Amino acid sequence: MTTLHWADSRLEIHRVVVGPYDNNVFVLRCRETGDAVLIDAANEHEQLLQLCQRLGVRRVLETHGHWDHIQAVPAIREAGYEVAVTAADAPMLKDVGYDVFIDDAEVIEVGNLRLTAIHNPGHTPGSVSFLVQGAPLLFTGDTLFPGGPGNTKFDGGNFATIIDSIDNKLFTLPPTTVVMPGHGVSTTIGNERPHLAEWVARGW
């Protein structure tokens, strides 16, 4: 089964879909060094551990703390991988564990690649997106999907906050930026930005 989802001369992105909610799990891999990071240890830990071993994953980044995105965390940590989450969402991982915090605007090294963490509250208080520096690639977790923002009806969710977060932190990116969400298919900033007023009007 091929997992390659996107690639250029510097990097590879691998994607698998796991669990009852069809969560996207992404691996960003630096082609020059072989180092990689896994985004959202959602479910099906056996498959994810195989992916980690095959692709040189060194650590795991969680976009947020909702349970469908963290089911594989205990097995991943037991295998020796460090799991990072924002401090605001860390309480949601109290039963599965975590190792380090992700700060807003933190630059995360993946071999010769760099990821910038973008705090995107609204779906959860500590939701975070990851922008690949020097490439038009953005991992948005459950903050931004094709057709609108993620659900804000769970505890800690807020619709006005997620709209502000998307408008001021994500829609400032170039329109060609590819959005890779936590579920479903990819889109671009340019495809989604024109619809912001419609999302506000419908209220979800």
pLDDT digits (tens, 9 = 90+) for 120-153: 999 999 999 999 999 999 999 999 999 999 999 9
Q: Going by C-beta distance under 8 Å and a sequence separation of 6 or more, which residues neighbour residue 14?
A: 3, 4, 5, 26, 27, 29, 51, 55
Over residues 159-181, the pLDDT tens digits come to 999 999 999 999 999 999 999 99
Report the SS3 class of residue 93. Answer: helix
Q: What is the pLDDT of residue 134?
A: 96
| pLDDT (mean) for 16-24 | 98
Q: What is the pLDDT of residue 185?
A: 98
Residue 146 burial (CB count, 10 A): 14
pLDDT band at 1 (very low <50, low <70, confident <90, very high): low
| pLDDT (mean) for 98-113 | 98
Over residues 113-127, the pLDDT tens digits come to 999 999 999 999 999
Q: Considering only CA atoms, which of 44, 75, 39 is closest in space to residue 60?
A: 39
Q: What is the pLDDT of residue 165?
A: 97
Residue 131 backbone class (left: φ over 0; alpha: ψ -120 to 50; beta: rest): beta
Q: What is the pLDDT of residue 149?
A: 98
Structure tokens at 123: 């779906």
What domains lie within the chain, and their CATH numbers?
A: 4-202 (3.60.15.10)
Spatial contact of 65 and 141, defined as CB atoms under 8 Å apart: no
What is the dihedral sign for C-alpha 74, 80, 84, 90? positive
Structure tokens at 22: 């069809």
What mean pLDDT is reported for the chain? 97
Q: Considering only CA atoms, which of 27, 72, 71, 14 is closest in space to residue 45?
A: 72
| pLDDT (mean) for 7-31 | 98
Over residues 31-59, the pLDDT tens digits come to 999 999 999 999 999 999 999 999 999 99
